[in-house]
Amino acid sequence: DSGVTQTPKHLITATGQRVTLRCSPRSGDLSVYWYQQSLDQGLQFLIQYYNGEERAKGNILERFSAQQFPDLHSELNLSSLELGDSALYFCASSVDGIRDEQYFGPGTRLTVT
Amino acid sequence: AQSVAQPEDQVNVAEGNPLTVKCTYSVSGNPYLFWYVQYPNRGLQFLLKYITGDNLVKGSYGFEAEFNKSQTSFHLKKPSALVSDSALYFCAVSQYSGYALNFGKGTSLLVTP
């Protein structure tokens, strides 16, 4: 158990809908990262937050947004969902920044029908 | 730009034999290098990292990796493979001037009894 929790574990929704994925980092970790894993794209970095502020942005679509709250939990919002958004979404946390190892949550499997 | 390559989709090894999973990287500055392992239906787990210092890095579960700056490589090794080592292995790279962590496409390791 990494100490990172993600909810829900599975999510099935229809095209055009909006969903919110939630992540709670390990106790004491200030950075939260979001990743998308799919068979064709592999593991793609989406976005990083550090202590409530956006620190780095990767291949995140404009339809996607995220935030980190004062209690350090984070949410990833996916809107206008398309079939191609079906993937495993991971949250990870680390103590500080990019030199620190990241601890991954179990993931949320999103299926868009 | 930074990138990482894992040239082998799959590596097959007999139990008890040494294993090597290859990784090469490309960054404009000094790299931060990581290895992660993913078991089926699980999040990624940190194995080891190179930030600076000794080129030979020792990590979890008996794994080690050698940083080779001239060959821009960071191969993962283990002297004696176990069946339980069978999993998907990811190499990742970042650098100080950027904060994103770029993952390779992963190498599937199969250790047979």
- What HEC string does B25-82 produce? EECCCCEEEEEEEECCCCCEEEEEEECCCCCEEECHHHCEEEEECCCCEEEEEECCCC
pLDDT tens, B8-63?
999 999 999 999 999 999 988 889 999 999 998 888 999 999 998 899 999 999 99
* Spatial contact of B97 and B34, defined as CB atoms under 8 Å apart: no
Q: What is the mean pLDDT of chain A?
A: 94
Banded model confidence at residue A85, pLDDT cuts 50, 70, 90:
very high
Residue B96 clears pLDDT 70, i.e. is over it: no
pLDDT tens, A29-50?
999 999 999 988 889 999 999 9
Report in angstroms the alpha-carbon separations of A49 from A40, A54, A55, A66, B56.
26, 4, 5, 9, 31
Which residues of chain A are within 8 Å of residue B32 when distances are taken between CB atoms? Answer: 98-99
Which residues of chain A are within 8 Å of residue B90 when distances are taken between CB atoms? Answer: 43
Q: Determine the pLDDT at residue A74.
A: 98
Q: Determine the pLDDT at residue A67.
A: 97
Question: Do A56 and B99 count as a contact with CB atoms less than 8 A apart?
Answer: yes
Q: Determine the pLDDT at residue A39.
A: 85
DSSP label at residue A34: E
pLDDT tens, B85-95?
999 999 999 87
Tell me how far apart the alpha carbons of residues A111 and A20 are, in angstroms, rounded to a whole number: 13
Tell me how far apart the alpha carbons of residues B34 and B88 are, in angstroms, rounded to a whole number: 14
Residue of A43, A106, A107 with shortest CB distance to B90: A43
Q: What is the mean pLDDT of chain B?
A: 92
Question: Do A43 and B45 count as a contact with CB atoms less than 8 A apart?
Answer: no
Mutate: best of A98, A103, A108, A109, partner B, most B CBs <10 A: A98
Mutate: best of B96, B99, B103, B105, partner A, most A CBs <10 A: B99
